[in-house]
């Protein structure tokens, strides 16, 4: 089985090409591939499957688990030739990955599997347009962004208020005043299961300028990572909403009440501009918020390609995912 290794701002992935959906990707294999000592190592696995073949994918692949399957996600007439079957480092399925889709696009273009600098990729969150920019960056349409309301996370036994943000997957973005280096993200932050029944990503966000933030993130299913694309969008959306005096409740600053959708973010952008610089441990990303949607721009690098050893693959394919992933 061929593989590639790539990263976007040091958010790294193992990439598998499975155009006909014949090889399959189980949770156990994904976790073993992501093992940084006994596997290749990565924050997740990106499997490239043609959308036309996803009806033949086996259990636990693109068409099962939470979220939509490839054909449903692409929608009629969208024209997405490829489905991004994404799994977290622990083998669990994920709806969307912002850095992952940019690395996925780089891989497809590098191998001549797509035509033109702009094309559509199917994901469990729906179709997403991607564009290879002339300067070398890759931009991805991240879809609709919604600030859903207030929430809180428990980090190292301390409670931090934040905003629940949907970027096709669930986030809690906490704008903090302390230095980000002071936080311990070695353990998963505690979240309200009533608000996050399937878990969520937690971003700690510090505002560093008029339209710039720094961020650390703990990703559901992967632990703390060097970057998170959907997390960068959530961080920018939360910072924009906070700068506008809103905490997702339709009222200024009190943090209690109902829901507010992405128009609050849009209103803030109309006042202060709509492009944010998000600094993460692995580099810098650009997030453009406009008309309730977001675009993510940044580097996407293919580091290496190779062939999985058949004997290792045979062992990994039949092994247990339990205890094999080490961050």
Active site (annotated) includes residue 97: yes
In this prediction, residues 202-223 reach a mean pLDDT of 97
Report in angstroms the alpha-carbon separations of 277 from 118, 137, 211, 238.
Answer: 23, 14, 6, 13
In this prediction, residues 223-235 reach a mean pLDDT of 97
pLDDT digits over 16-69, tens only? 999 999 888 999 999 999 999 999 999 999 999 999 988 644 434 443 333 334
Contact 47, 6 (CB under 8 A): no
Catalytic site residue from 34, 54, 57, 97? 97
Active site (annotated) includes residue 57: no
Confidence at residue 319, expressed as pLDDT on a 0 to 100 scale? 60
Is a pLDDT exceeding 90 seen at residue 170?
yes
Q: For the chain, how big is the Rg over CA atoms in Å?
A: 19
Q: Is 118 exposed, middle or buried (0-12, 13-18, 19+ CB in 10 A)?
A: middle
Q: What H or E segment, with its residue span, contains residue 313?
A: helix 310-318
Cα separation of 254 and 268, whole Å?
Answer: 18
Structure-token pair, residue 122: 């199917």
Weakest mean pLDDT among 101-115, 168-182, 231-245, 298-312: 231-245
Strands 301-307 and 2-8: antiparallel
Percentage of the chain lying above the pLDDT 90 cut: 74
Structure-token pair, residue 214: 């720094």
């Amino acid at each position: 089985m061929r593989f590639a290794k790539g990263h976007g701002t040091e958010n790294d992935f193992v990439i598998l090409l499975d155009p006909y959906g014949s090889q399959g990707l189980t949770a156990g294999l994904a976790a073993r591939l992501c093992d940084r000592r006994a596997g290749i190592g990565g924050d997740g696995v990106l499997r490239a499957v043609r959308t036309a073949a996803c009806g033949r994918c086996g259990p636990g692949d693109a068409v099962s688990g939470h979220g939509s399957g490839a054909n449903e996600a692409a929608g009629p007439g969208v024209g997405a030739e490829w489905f991004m079957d994404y799994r977290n480092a622990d083998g669990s399925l994920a709806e969307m990955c912002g850095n992952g889709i940019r690395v996925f696009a780089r891989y497809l273009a590098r191998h001549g599997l797509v035509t033109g600098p702009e094309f559509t990729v199917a994901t469990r969150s729906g179709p997403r347009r991607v564009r290879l920019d002339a300067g070398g960056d890759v931009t991805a349409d991240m879809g609709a962004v919604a600030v859903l309301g207030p929430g809180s996370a428990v980090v190292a036994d301390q409670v931090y208020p934040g905003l629940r943000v949907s970027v096709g997957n669930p986030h809690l973005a906490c704008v903090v005043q302390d230095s980000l280096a002071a936080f311990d993200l070695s353990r998963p932050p505690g979240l309200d299961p009533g608000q996050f029944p399937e878990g969520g990503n937690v971003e700690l966000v510090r505002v560093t300028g008029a339209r710039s933030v720094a961020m650390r993130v703990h990703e559901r299913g992967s632990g703390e990572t060097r970057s998170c694309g959907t997390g960068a969008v959530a961080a920018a959306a939360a910072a924009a909403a906070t700068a506008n005096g809103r905490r997702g409740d339709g009222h200024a600053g009190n943090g209690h009440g109902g829901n507010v959708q992405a128009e609050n973010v849009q209103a803030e952008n109309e006042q202060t501009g709509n492009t944010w610089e998000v600094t993460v441990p692995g580099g810098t990303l650009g997030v453009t918020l406009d008309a309730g949607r977001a675009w993510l721009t940044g580097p996407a690098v293919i580091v290496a390609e190779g062939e999985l050893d058949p004997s290792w693959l045979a062992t990994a394919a039949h092994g247990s995912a339990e205890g094999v992933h080490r961050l």
